[in-house]
Amino acid sequence: MPTHATPVPRHLAIIMDGNGRWAQKRHRPRIIGHRAGAQAVKRCVEFCLQQGIEALTLFAFSSENWNRPAEEVGGLMKLFLGALEREVDELHRLGARLRFIGERSRFDPAILARMDAAERLTAANVRLHLNIAASYGGRQDIAAAARSLAEDVAAGRLLPAQVDEAALGARIALADLPAPDLFIRTGGELRISNFLLWQLAYAELWFTDTLWPDVDGALLQHALDDYAGRERRFGLTSAQVRPAQPGSPA
């Protein structure tokens, strides 16, 4: 169990909020903000590659976002499809492994096919795990893991006494990756909004009023600098997690 913040988080998780307000401030339709948000995603991926961050998980579309006006949902779907068509080859060249978490059966077959193809193409890449949470909800993620446990118990593959944190954690999305070390939310709201509820248990939280389309490397570096100064205690005391100083009594 790591006890101190490593200089650079291994896994960064981001709620990219503020696209709509960014557009409204410019008297433009919300979709213009989402398009500018897609450019910020590219800057963020570049930053993670430069910093040697191992995993980046982005909340692109929540299970609740389906209830937005049909025009906005349609615009976002077109934007996702366009991004998949244009960006996947370059991400593959850069060594990114793409994965989508969430209820993917709700997507249009054309988008679904592109998601599957992107995952297959990039499956062996290891430089950056780029996870896109799309039609994702943290409660739904935990419920699916609980259902999988229940199925194993019902089939006799698992005893009820074997249902523990490790068994559930192994069935949650992104179980093969280290849990997020740092969570960033842009756009000024101070909440987690049903993102990675299980996985964020011990993440360091960092909030900024900056709207997502305005995010650049300098802002992300500011978040990393703050993170590097955090003491991660995982429920222990400060004395327990601080390495002994040279010359100090044992």
Residues known to be catalytic:
17, 65
Residue whose Cβ sits closest to ligand FPP:
20
- CB of residue 21 to ligand FPP, shortest distance in Å: 3
- Return the number of the residue (79 or 158) whose C-beta is nearest ligand FPP: 79
- Return the number of the residue (152 or 214) whose C-beta is nearest ligand FPP: 214
Of the chain, the end-to-end C-alpha distance in Å amounts to 21
Widest CA span in the chain: 66
Phi and psi angles of residue 98, each rounded to the nearest 5 degrees, phi first: -95, 135
**Interface with ligand FPP (CB under 6 A):** 16-21, 34, 37-38, 41, 58, 60-61, 65, 79-80, 83, 132, 187, 212
The tokens describing 98, both together, are 């793409």
Q: Whose CA is closest to 216, among 25, 36, 29? A: 36
CB 13 within 8 A of CB 203: yes
- Return the number of the residue (77 or 167) whose C-beta is nearest ligand FPP: 77
- CB of residue 50 to ligand FPP, shortest distance in Å: 19
- CB of residue 33 to ligand FPP, shortest distance in Å: 6
Q: How many CB atoms lie within 10 A of CB 201?
A: 12
